[in-house]
Amino acid sequence: MTEPDWVQHAIWWHVYPIGFVGAEQAAGAADRHPDRTADHRLGQLVPWLDYVVELGASGLALGPVFASETHGYDTTDYFRIDPRLGDDADFDELIAQCHARGLKVLLDGVFNHVGRSFGPFQRVLTEGPGAPAASWFRLQWPESGWTPGTEPGYDDFEGHHHLVALNHDEPAVGVLVTDVMKHWLGRGADGWRLDAAYAVPASYWAPVLAEVRRDFPEAYFVGEYIHGDFAEEVERSTLDSVTQYELWKAVWSSLNDANFYELASALERHNGFLDSFVPLTFVGNHDVTRLASKLDNPDQLALALTVLLTVGGTPSIYYGDEQAFRGVKEDRAGGDDAVRPAFPAGPAELAAAGWPVYHLHQELISLRRRHSWLHRARTTVLTLSNEHLVYQARDDGGADNGETGDGGALTVALNLSATPADLPVPSGAGTLLAGQGRQRPERNVVSLPGFGWAVLGIG
């Protein structure tokens, strides 16, 4: 495992900046001009940093902040802050404000593809196959020969023709990505989320990351993977982690279908991943329907959050989910807008209805921070039915990370039914640390209300 030690305590608050600050959804030609005056919007995040700390998070995971055409994932200049967000000074101030509060900062690197307005690609269109950067892209030139004004065919990202795929077999692309990573780590960032890492050959990342780690050994690298052999991809790429979409799907799906067997199976798979790396875990992000909208029954939201914060992983909370924001992602132009909203000027402007969910997050994050071994915890299912689940989260190497007292074990009981339930728990499971259950130690039982949950342990 290559992840830095500080990641054991990392809990991210994940923000999509362009949406958060209410920036224009598309940058015009004037926005890409080097003399374009920046809109200093990144500073709108600063009034929320104390809110993040009070939530219990330890890091700010930023979506794209670099110059782009529209949504940030069509980069036009990797070395420039998007002028819709601000400039270098705004970035530096945000980093300083985060670090002053002990918050790490994770950047979003889109290194599989670029926007059509990316400077080197535009020079290829102008200069033809003789352009110095022609080998940076996977191009198909006319068989009859190129003439000025003739655009070549090119590989794109999953059929989105405005996203031009980079050629990762070209060494100069590796140099570019390495330089970009080092540049922003040098300005204070603490790590990188690598967008669409699954679309890049895993072998590409290893030499790039080795070079970056030479100068920044404490940097953290997590790749976006949606499916596949996660463990093999991590081994070949030398990434620290990947996004755990399998667990994300199993959480909401098992609740909607009243099928805890699906979740139990996913937890067993999750245990296997933890043998070689610690996945980035989440129940919401910028690419999916919000949990409060995904669940057929919002009363089950607490169960989903309990799973997220009591199993192994590096948890990420998507901004607004901690307030039970709703939003449905749709497969159409602008279909992400509902899950990437603007936030108000400060926490005092949030609706009162969301604060109970915020306090639930605080309760469970506090529990997790008191038991930092949960970062690598394995789960063992003790009781399983369609609507009832009891599992134990245990750290097999608890003595190695300073945990004392409980030996690194928590028992989690979940009731998916509206009907109260008595669920068995192990003898010596400890006392109720969080949740709504009533402990009955004489019977080794915890009594849960409908849709109730409980966490038992020592300490």
Phi, psi of 196 (to 5 degrees): 50, 35
Cβ–Cβ < 8 Å for 65, 180: no
Nearby residues of 257 by Cβ (< 8 Å), 6 or more positions away: none
Positive or negative, the Cα torsion across 314, 200, 287, 291? negative
Pair of tokens at residue 23:
């920036």
pLDDT digits (tens, 9 = 90+) for 87-126: 999 999 999 999 999 999 999 999 999 999 999 999 999 9
Q: What are the residue ranges of CATH 2.60.40.1180 in the chain?
A: 377-457
Q: In the prediction, which pLDDT does 37 show?
A: 87
Q: In the prediction, which pLDDT does 442 show?
A: 83
Q: What are the residue ranges of CATH 3.20.20.80 in the chain?
A: 5-374
Q: Which CATH number fits domain 5-374: 3.30.360.10, 3.90.1150.10, 3.20.20.80, 3.30.750.24?
A: 3.20.20.80
Residue type at 295? Answer: L
Pair of tokens at residue 291:
């949990």
Nearby residues of 10 by Cβ (< 8 Å), 6 or more positions away: 58, 59, 104, 220, 314
Distance CA 424, CA 383 (A): 7
Q: 297-302 long-range CB contacts below 8 Å, 24 or more apart?
A: 297/255, 297/256, 297/451, 298/324, 299/418, 299/450, 299/451, 300/255, 300/416, 300/451, 301/357, 302/360, 302/451, 302/453
CATH of domain 377-457: 2.60.40.1180
Residue recorded with tokens 């590409």: 204
- Cβ burial of 349 (10 Å; 0-12, 13-18, 19+) is exposed
Cβ–Cβ < 8 Å for 46, 94: yes
Instruction: From residue 386, give the alpha-carbon distance in Å to each of 70, 275, 303, 390, 393.
Output: 44, 28, 14, 12, 20
DSSP 33-84: STTPPPP--GGGGGGGHHHHHHHT--EEEE---EEESSSSSSEEEEEEE-TT
Beta-bridge partner residues of 139: 154
Instruction: From residue 377, give the alpha-carbon distance in Å to each of 188, 191, 208.
Output: 30, 23, 30
For the CA atoms of 75, 78, 84, 88, the dihedral, rounded to the nearest 10 degrees, stands at 170
Residues of the chain with pLDDT under 70: 1, 29-32, 397-407, 459
- Cβ burial of 203 (10 Å; 0-12, 13-18, 19+) is exposed
Cβ–Cβ < 8 Å for 365, 57: yes
Cβ–Cβ < 8 Å for 58, 49: no
